[in-house]
Amino acid sequence: MLKRLVGLKGFVGRKRKKRGVFLWIVFFIMLAYAITLLMPFYYLICNSFKRMDDFLENGAWALPKMLYFQNFADAVSLTSGKVSFLGMYFNSIILTVSAVLISSASSTMIAYALARFRFFGRDFLVALGVGALVIPDLGSSTVVYKIFVDLNMVDTWLILVKYTTPFGLQFLILYSLFKTVAGTYVEAARLDGAGEWRIFLQICLPMARGALGATMVILAINNWNDYYTPYMYLPSVKTLSIGLQELAMTVSQLDRPKLFAGMVIAITPLLVVFIAMRDTIIENTVSGGLKG
């Protein structure tokens, strides 16, 4: 019996040791991966504070000899065609805010209706909403573009109608949340004479505030960085993603620090929003999923 206990103890010890080695290997792999993700940020921020002579003499990877903040003031004066940097910034804000509000309103109402009501075809619509996440839509891109061209909606803000599509990650998370909302709250509101709109706006929607806020931040980041939509549908209304790409192709070597400073200004809102909402994003997206 004693030999068995000693053997079992030795087996557990070896197993823990192997597990510890495995965790250290995983840690170093993830650390190396994190460093590769941070390298572009180092490159961008480091060069945005360099003078032109410092950038040319010491190379792009060296630390700046001194912090040169004038690049950020000069970056605002950059233009892509007839659109200024501030104009591109304003266009990005309009596109991002409009897309997030339209998409969130559509997804929230559809998710609530499918989660709280039973009707013919409901299960098919839910399956369609889930399937929209795994089926690529690249094959239909040309058809959608042709429809917008035929309707004379290209290069106008009418293309915002394409964001009314309700299905996606936001729908999945909100559907799961509305599905699990306690029915006692809804029944109590109905006994008090509340209609469906009041139940939705004053009871269910406040309960989904955390998940809705998290998904809206994710949508904002995606739309702020979106290159395809403004390139295809808003060619003359340039956003930052389009304008900075064009500037990167045309700006001379001597103006590179200004361009890097402009890129830093462009990503600053995303960093601020993500840092402020990181706990809400992680909590509500990791716990999301289909239930019931």
Element (H, E) at 4: helix 2-48
Q: What is the pLDDT of residues 37-82, one digit of tens each?
A: 888 888 888 888 988 888 878 877 888 888 888 888 888 887 877 7
Alpha-carbon torsion, ordered 218, 219, 224, 228, to 10 deg? 120
For residues 195 and 226, give the distance between their C-alpha atoms in angstroms, rounded to a whole number. 39
- Residue 185 in this model has a pLDDT that exceeds 80: no
Which positions ≥6 away from 80 have C-beta within 8 Å?
A: 88, 238, 242, 243, 244, 246, 247, 250
Q: What is the pLDDT of residues 91-121, one digit of tens each?
A: 999 999 999 999 999 999 998 888 888 888 8
pTM of the predicted model over 0.75: yes
For residues 84 and 21, give the distance between their C-alpha atoms in angstroms, rounded to a whole number. 55
| Token couple for 238 | 């340039």
E strands, the chain, in order: 79-80, 83-84
Residue 96's pLDDT is 93
- Residue 291 in this model has a pLDDT that exceeds 60: no
CB 108 within 8 A of CB 174: yes
